[in-house]
Chain A
């Protein structure tokens, strides 16, 4: 599966002062798949994503996207290459309307030309956003914010979409609904990276999973072959990985 990897992370280490946040992390993200990264709070998920998106600079290692080394590139350049991320806590622009939030997803001049058809597509994907299009994002519910953040990330027509903690603080029925839409997005050809704390749903919806504990990959495998109990043990640090 290395041959067709759209994104690969190779031996990535990141430290903040003396604290080693990521240690020699290697991951492959094959084109067209859904890959999950499972880990608890403080496992290094956020650091990993920040490094991939160019916000944090790694101590060593490489991030390769479409056969191109993008390590340490400016975020705007990385976005322009087709990587997009829906941030944790679904940071939306509170004092902008839903419509304007979506427009911001197509901010880079190269993305603006297809904006109208992309807006249409966002509204088809999440019809509730169309109903609320003129409202300020600050008045949206948690689930609607998450939908907006995902739709906004898709406005740059990414090849790969990273979803950071979609299920954080949402009701199960809402999470299920959003996950089903993610499957639709994947069907349209976008590679998906799910970053989650929740083990069961991550395994259920992804093709391949990585388990991150204390900045290291401690377990990986096809999602349907990984044992949920073993993942949970690793995750909670009950066994030798602790």
Chain B
């Protein structure tokens, strides 16, 4: 029974992190109808930047994260402006293929530069137990991951709902023609949206880098987690990703509890299939694309 409670609690905390991984994917899909295959690889690229900067330049993870946010916002914004935007009005598939290409370029560049060794980012909270009772143990790292992820999601929710930039994003997603007529430069909005989404991915990259570690090809496995989260929560729903993350996290750890850790990933995606069967658009899909 203790292990059951532990599994649920850990699943919820893990789910928060999953949501931080998925929310950028959801945002980009909701706004421009683009399935960004490069999301996971951009995230891992950020993990490498944070690791290198903190080890060799700044000595501080926080400072390295801030620098990485700026670098990744620039890289992803340029990729959107010069590559994805050019094919976006030719339908969903060409743009998807472009992001697939970007993912492969990032993976191979990382492979060339760093090899296939497993890396991680040092975490000061890894060994601290915040709660240590008979029923449940919560590590500082998992708790902090959860808190940061929830903060990221609510910050993003606030930006999209309450700021002029957020309104321009929603307007562009609702009707490009009408948005342009309001004076919104929708291509520029897409660039900023991609930068914003990738910045959430940077925070995801920091957290997975500290918690699980990564190597040059990790992007694709995190992309699959992000897909799971976003599909369960509802494509385009920001708060839905939090729900999707928690469901996926709990399903995986309960799967491990009942059937053994070898099948936990399988159980997670079986849950995904069940939810997709019952709610094909995801649980909280509120944005509709035309």
Contact = CB atoms under 8 A, between A and B. Distances in A.
Interface of A: 53, 55, 74-76, 79-80, 84-85, 87, 91-96, 100, 103-105, 107-108, 111-112, 152-153, 156
B184 interface: yes
A87 B174 contact: no
A79 B287 contact: no
A80 B287 CA distance: 29
Contact of A93 (B164, B171, B180, B185): B171
A91 B183 contact: no
B58 to A, nearest CB: 36
A93 B178 contact: yes
Contact of A80 (B167, B181, B183, B286): B183
B39 interface: no
B181 A95 contact: no
B254 to A, nearest CB: 35
Given A79-B183, A80-B183, 20 more contacts: A53-B181, A75-B180, A75-B181, A76-B184, A87-B177, A91-B175, A91-B178, A92-B175, A92-B178, A95-B174, A95-B288, A96-B171, A103-B167, A107-B167, A107-B168, A107-B171, A108-B183, A112-B164, A152-B182, A153-B181
A107 B164 contact: yes
Interface residues of B, number: 19
A100 B167 CA distance: 8
A152 B175 CA distance: 14
B175 to A, nearest CB: 4
Interface string B176-196: 011111111100000000000
A67 B184 CA distance: 24
A67 B182 CA distance: 23
Given A87-B178, A91-B178, A95-B288, A104 B185 contact: no
